[in-house]
Amino acid sequence: QKEVEQDPGPLSVPEGAIVSLNCTYSNSAFQYFMWYRQYSRKGPELLMYTYSSGNKEDGRFTAQVDKSSKYISLFIRDSQPSDSATYLCAMSASRDDKIIFGKGTRLHILP
Amino acid sequence: DGGITQSPKYLFRKEGQNVTLSCEQNLNHDAMYWYRQDPGQGLRLIYYSQIVNDFQKGDIAEGYSVSREKKESFPLTVTSAQKNPTAFYLCASSPTPGQGLYEQYFGPGTRLTVT
């Protein structure tokens, strides 16, 4: 079983829809969870990070962590064509551990 | 791209040649990293450095070498020993070690093609 699993997509949704992106993981020691957005031929940019369980909201983006299920989600409200990108989840067990990345989900927002 | 510069954006080399990829940051970050990204493979850690003049191997260090002589700079050399060097290479940095290897900031990447 891989440490971090992420559906590669592509996921296509109409503009204005709510998007749900997800990752599952196997290492119960993970406590730091991140989401990165990567546009084509660009480096990833950090969107959000959370510590332990719970929700975190930033504008149209909400990150959710369910440690009991080993499942994290990123919700995008009122999706825009500019949200079309690859979204990478990432996590680590402690502040001094290396980050484990998911393979990324390609998202297409259709105008 | 968050104060991290990678050059060049595209690089072409013949098989058997060593090539050095540049990474510079002006974020005053102590830690720097090199990743390789292949389609369907995600990000794989090649080398990382938490302080000047010190670096550690990541998961796929074979065929690569690095140096960290200055805080701002962390060049990566892809040697002829790397069996499959064609890939997208990403450099990243993060704040002071001990305050988190999370929250890494990435450069724009260098796409290396070896023929």
A58 interfacial to chain B (CB closer than 8 Å): no
- B103 contact residues in A (CB cutoff 8 A): 34, 46, 49
Higher pLDDT, B39 or B35: B35
* Neighboring chain B residues of A32 at a CB cutoff of 8 Å: 100, 102
Write out pLDDT tens, residues B68-105: 999 999 999 999 888 899 999 999 998 866 544 567 88
Summarize the confidence of residues B1-28 as an average pLDDT.
90
User: Over the stretch A37-85, which tens digit does the pLDDT of each residue have?
Assistant: 999 989 999 999 888 888 999 999 999 999 999 999 999 999 999 999 9
What's the token pair of residue A96?
Answer: 């001094």
Measured between alpha carbons, how far is B82 from A57 in angstroms, rounded to an integer?
43
In sign, the C-alpha dihedral spanning B3, B9, B14, B15 is positive
8 Å CB contact between B21 and B112: yes
Q: How many CB pairs under 8 A join A and B?
A: 62
